[in-house]
Structure 1
Amino acid sequence: MKVLLVGAGLSGAVIGRTLAEAGHDCRIIDSRSHIGGNCYTERDPETGVMMHVYGPHIFHTDDEEVWNYVNRFTTFLPFQNRVKTTSQGAVYSLPVNLHTINQFFGKTMRPDEARDFITEIADTSIEEPQSFEEQALRFVGRDLYEAFFKGYTEKQWGCSPTELPASILKRLPVRFNYDDNYFFHRFQGMPRDGYTPMIEAILDHPNITVELETSYEPAMADEADHVFWSGPLDGFFDYRLGRLGYRTLDFERFTHEGDYQGCAVMNYGDRDVPYTRITEHKHFSPWESHEGSVCYREYSRAAEPDDIPYYPIRMVEEKSLLSQYVELAQATPGVTFVGRLGTYRYLDMDVTIREAMDTAGSFLSGASMGKTMPTFIKSPL
């Protein structure tokens, strides 16, 4: 079959590779001048540092099949994300752990003592947290919430934490030991040579053609037996019902001779610091050595029509509009919507790859039995 895949990021590459290996003819187009989507990496010509051009991407997963898949196309080296945060004139470790608690309160508590202490300062009157703020107050209390979460969240999302759902904070654990590894998955690492060569290797198949700086035109679908769309869901319909809301990021790049901050990621929790964090890219490749350094100050704001969409907002208004676009999509034959933008969901890389593998598998099994490919493998709702 002839398959058109719109987007040369992880979703398009993984689906395309699987279908190509099964003998299908895959045409992948992307409006950008490079493959890889927001995972794109490149060497900084000035310093030689491997740059995460659209912000840091750290690979972590418990899915062994996904881990084996990415290691088929590149070499992953060990990397653990150890995030620091500057708050109220001091530097602490995140996520909140025993060291953070002892340092912040000037104590030397053991794990059981710290657990009892946090229980005492937490607002246990909040039985079923509904908002981000209630979730934080319920589990860590006001002091830790205001130091590490409130200001950062206001900057990141552009609204009060009282307006955000509690589910956003459920991904951030509190640890009563000294483990400062930001993630807790079995498999964690970075591709030795960056993500771009990995995606190049996935796309390297005789049944795959890649066309960059090529925007989708509806007539292209007429030449394909099926379309996989990994662009914005609302963009497929030319935003006819309005635009789904996103947060975007602005990066202020600067260089430094030597080591600027001693870690890959430094958050800034205070509201009066305009940026959310500084990332120092050479620390994402600790097996390399560079005298110079490249850093990004990261600013979050509401996405405008010409901005790169990063984080789907998914508040009540957006979910209402989303449901209307899902209805439109389900009434559109021959198209499957995939990935972060195509399903309007925040997805880590491993989940994106898993869903792409499952999508390709569904296509192959359905084609062999004459079944129609579903519009969504995972419902955006």
Structure 2
Amino acid sequence: MNQSILVVGAGFSGAVIARELANNGHQVTICDARSNVGGNCHTERDKQSGVMVHRYGPHIFHTTDTEIWEYVSQFTTMKPYRHSVRTTVQSSVYSLPINLQTINQFFGKTFNSDEARAFLADQCEDFQAPQNFEQAALASIGRPLYEAFFRGYTIKQWGCDPTEIPAQVFARLPVRFNYDDRYFDHRLVGIPADGYTALIQNILDHPQIDLQLNTTCTAQDISDYDHCFWTGTIDSYFNFIHGRLGYRTLSFEMARKAGDWQGCAVMNYGDISAPYTRVTEHKHLAPWEDHNETVISIETSKACGPTDTPYYPTRKLSERDQLKSYVDMAKAAPNVTFAGRLGTYRYLNMDTCIRAAIDIVAAYCSAVTSGSPSPNFATDPL
């Protein structure tokens, strides 16, 4: 039974949901408040330099899921890419993630792997079950590395003390005891040759998909459709009845420079005294291209206000009860499925968003065929 479906949000999650629904014979309208598809993955060429700019910060596609890599490769040429990050702290430049080079340089040592492990073990503090970001860091790498590389950066990025952030956030940050300075050690790492926006435009190129940009949708707009997939913020769907959940937004100061500005794609600034979190030099995100000029963006994080664009959820420990209230409402809401980073209030990588989108459409189509209830979430926020 073919249905008329509304998808709100034309980022990765919304685009893949729309495509999979269309492939299954449904008529899909997808809307986005912005003038372009791609959400925060939006890329565009700088007209003067020709550099492909990641307009809302650098996005690197990395996964261990071969099927997801093959899925996106249907719609673009994925160029292999090795992401290497540097950080400026205490007037020195170090390699991230923390690895054997970082440890030896910071402490002025020449440790081998086992010696470095033993040394850091002596630095670590005893938290058997870390309850927050700071405790997780202190239990893993000790206070000197935490204070230098993570405390100031985390305060700037999240706008709160690290003791307010869940321990799981630190668990996403690798620590290596070899000289591997790849930020992602997944087997499949790349960037679309023509940028993410072109990739998502190709995903949405289907006769049963009606794309409507510069279009804002609310919960009231779904009544004309059999079902809605909502990838906007979960609290906005319910008109903030339980208050606004915490999100961070970003601002970017763009500038053109001559030649090579910083010698790497991303330079973090860990010191609390530096007002920005990182600087991206975009041409290094496409090393297969050659440009005489370069484009940099200086990135600053702040709390997301009512008129700002949300980038990622804070998921503070203090927000758990508030989030549960919204999740309970979402599970009871008819004819709507919440998906994506904003719709499920989770920090999700691109490959995870795509996998969840494919799986939720499969579950929805099965439910339609069998007459069973449709799923409410692509990924349960709790």
TM range (shorter): over 0.9
Residue matched to 2:354: 353
Residue matched to 1:68: 70
Structure 1 residue aligned with 2:81, among 70, 79, 90? 79
Alignment of structure 1 residues 95-106 onto 2, 5 Å: 95-106=97-108
- 3-state SS, counterpart of residue 287 of structure 1: coil
Query: What is the rounded CA distance, in whole Å, between the counterparts of 1:30 and 1:163 in structure 2?
Result: 33
- 3-state SS, counterpart of residue 47 of structure 1: coil
> Per-residue deviation at 1:29?
0.9
User: Identity of counterpart residues, as a percentage?
Assistant: 56
Residue matched to 1:28: 30
Residue matched to 1:42: 44
Alignment of structure 1 residues 144-223 onto 2, 5 Å: 144-218=145-219, 220-223=221-224
> Per-residue deviation at 1:102?
1.0
> Per-residue deviation at 1:128?
2.5
Query: What is the rounded CA distance, in whole Å, between the counterparts of 1:243 and 1:219 in structure 2?
Result: 19
Query: What is the rounded CA distance, in whole Å, between the counterparts of 1:213 and 1:241 in structure 2?
Result: 28
Query: What is the rounded CA distance, in whole Å, between the counterparts of 2:242 and 2:108 in structure 1?
Result: 54
Query: What is the rounded CA distance, in whole Å, between the counterparts of 2:164 and 2:17 in structure 1?
Result: 37
Structure 1 residue aligned with 2:111, among 109, 112, 136? 109
Query: What is the rounded CA distance, in whole Å, between the counterparts of 2:286 and 2:90 in structure 1?
Result: 30
Q: Is the 8 A contact 2:87 2:96 kept in 1?
A: yes
Name the amino acid aligned to 1:193: D
Query: What is the rounded CA distance, in whole Å, between the counterparts of 1:235 and 1:89 in structure 2?
Result: 43
1:170-228 C-alpha deviation (Å, 9 max, x unpaired) = 11121111000011211100000100111111101111110111111555323211111
Name the amino acid aligned to 1:377: A
Structure 2 residue aligned with 1:119, among 107, 118, 121? 121
Alignment of structure 1 residues 330-369 onto 2, 5 Å: 330-369=331-370
TM-score (norm 1): 0.97
Query: What is the rounded CA distance, in whole Å, between the counterparts of 1:81 and 1:242 in structure 2?
Result: 38
Residue matched to 1:92: 94
- 3-state SS, counterpart of residue 53 of structure 2: strand
> Per-residue deviation at 1:238?
1.8
> Per-residue deviation at 1:126?
2.8
User: Which shifted more, 162-171 or 85-94?
Assistant: 162-171
Alignment of structure 1 residues 198-277 onto 2, 5 Å: 198-218=199-219, 220-277=221-278
CA spacing shift, 1:317–1:161, aligned 2, 3 Å: closer
Q: Is the 8 A contact 2:312 2:342 kept in 1?
A: no
Unaligned runs of 5+ in 1: none
Name the amino acid aligned to 2:143: R
1:108-142 C-alpha deviation (Å, 9 max, x unpaired) = 1111111111112222x333222222222222122
Establish whether residue 11 from structure 1 lines up as the match of residue 13 from structure 2. Answer: yes
1:244-269 C-alpha deviation (Å, 9 max, x unpaired) = 11111111112211111000010111
TM-score (norm 2): 0.97
Establish whether residue 291 from structure 1 lines up as the match of residue 283 from structure 2. Answer: no
Name the amino acid aligned to 1:99: Q
User: Which shifted more, 289-298 or 313-322?
Assistant: 313-322
Name the amino acid aligned to 1:112: D
User: Which shifted more, 92-101 or 104-113?
Assistant: 104-113
CA spacing shift, 1:218–1:268, aligned 2, 3 Å: closer
Q: Is the 8 A contact 2:166 2:315 kept in 1?
A: no
- Matched length: 380
1:335-367 C-alpha deviation (Å, 9 max, x unpaired) = 111111111111110000000000111111111
CA spacing shift, 1:331–1:127, aligned 2, 3 Å: closer
- 3-state SS, counterpart of residue 73 of structure 1: coil
Name the amino acid aligned to 2:42: Y
Unaligned runs of 5+ in 2: none
Query: What is the rounded CA distance, in whole Å, between the counterparts of 1:243 and 1:200 in structure 2?
Result: 31
User: Which shifted more, 352-361 or 165-174?
Assistant: 165-174
